[in-house]
Each structure stands twice: as structure tokens, then as C-alpha cells.
Amino acid sequence: DAGVTQSPTHLIKTRGQHVTLRCSPISGHKSVSWYQQVLGQGPQFIFQYYEKEERGRGNFPDRFSARQFPNYSSELNVNALLLGDSALYLCASSLGTTGIYFGEGSWLTVV
């Protein structure tokens, strides 16, 4: 069975640009969440979605937005990129409470 898939795996953007990151959850999983991980830190929660509705948002600016589609895939959008947005962006999916599984992540570098 396929795990959580994310795209793109690596990308380089310029300050001020916009980026869209995509995620497909494990088949049957209806809950998706997004995390940002900078070097030396644990992942920080950005958004969670369940049944296509936003169920929670972390302490991130409004430049960050997300949505979940009818097939439960999701995308994370970041506008007006800053150098500090350079990080590993992780998508995770879950079914119930038995475990939350991460994709390989998208490495974003802002120059």
C-alpha cells in the first residue's frame, strides 16, 4: 500500500514568491495535517483537516493557507515567501487515533 505522498520533494523559491505543496494521504485516511520543521527542531503544527474542513491552525501567519479536497488530498500554500520559511514541510495522515504517518516531506529553500 502506498504511504503518504508529497510533491515536490525539493524546490527553490525567491523571496516574495508563492509556493504550493501537495499531499496525498494513505488510502482510507480522512485526516491530514501539515507541519514545518526547521533544522534542529521538532516539527511544528501548521494546519489540520478532517473531512475537508479545517479543524485546527497553529501559530503561523496568514501567509500560510491550506485546503483539503473531496478525495482527501491536500495542499499547503505559502504567499510572500520569507527566508525564514526555508524548512522541511511535512504532511501527515491518520485514520482514527491509532497513528499519524508522515510523508517524505518537501524541502523548501527560499533565496
Residues lying near another protein in the complex (CB under 8 A)? 30-33, 35, 40-45, 48-51, 55-56, 88, 90, 92-94, 96-105
Nearest CA among 76, 53, 44, 49 for reference residue 63: 76
CB 95 within 8 A of CB 26: yes
Q: Which of 14, 41 has the CB closer to another protein?
A: 41
Residue indicated by cell numbers 491552525: 57
CB 5 within 8 A of CB 71: no
> Least distance (Å) from another protein to the CB of residue 51?
7
CB 39 within 8 A of CB 56: no
Q: Which of 24, 94 has the CB closer to another protein?
A: 94
> Least distance (Å) from another protein to the CB of residue 32?
8
> Least distance (Å) from another protein to the CB of residue 2?
15
Q: Which of 74, 110 has the CB closer to another protein?
A: 74
